[in-house]
Amino acid sequence: MPKQFLIAVVVTIAGFLLIATNPISSSATVVNSTQAATSQKQAIQPRPPLTTNPNKHAVPVTLSASCPQQIPSANVFSLPVPAPPSVKLYSVAVFGWNSEFYQLFGGYLSSDTTQGIIVVNHLSLDPCKDKKSVLSSALLLTQSKHGGVHFTSIRSNLVDFAMADGTVGLFDIITNSLSSK
């Protein structure tokens, strides 16, 4: 599991424990509901209507035309991935090939847990210029039904994977194809 993910989980848990275990100060004043309602009525003041000044003009804002990103180092990891209810995704592979950036998600169809799937996202290295972060996306089904896909390694343009029953396969980003080993 990536170190950054573990740190985020630990910090989140520590913050929750700090809030949950911090008692109310003895100098805190308890206000009953009638007092709270009265003070809220007094505090809320109607705002005057918004008016525009015809002498002021909008300031033009120039957005960056380019914001190139670096291709991250190749990595394979497992974690639950938010996905539509029709699929369960739990394995991720990120890598660059031929100056392109790819993100793969592995899992299975919710309606048929024996049907393995791979979602291939071709990501932009310059989302400001391209006006989007995902250039293309594809859902691939494994040729045989051996369960969900779990990525095991990346070798240049090839991503090795294993399915739930132990059957192994290979995804080739150049041909966008799956094969059994």
Residue 93 DSSP code: E
pLDDT at residue 33, rounded to an integer:
40
Distance CA 181, CA 179 (A): 7
By C-alpha distance, which of 84, 125, 132 is closest to 105? 84
pLDDT at residue 181, rounded to an integer:
72
Are the C-beta atoms of residues 132 and 113 closer than 8 Å to each other? no
Low-confidence ranges of the chain (pLDDT < 50): 1-41
Sequence-distant (6+) residues with CB within 8 A of 181 are: 160, 168, 169, 170
pLDDT at residue 15, rounded to an integer:
37
pLDDT at residue 37, rounded to an integer:
46
pTM: 0.63
pLDDT at residue 7, rounded to an integer:
36
pLDDT at residue 110, rounded to an integer:
96
Residue 143 DSSP code: S
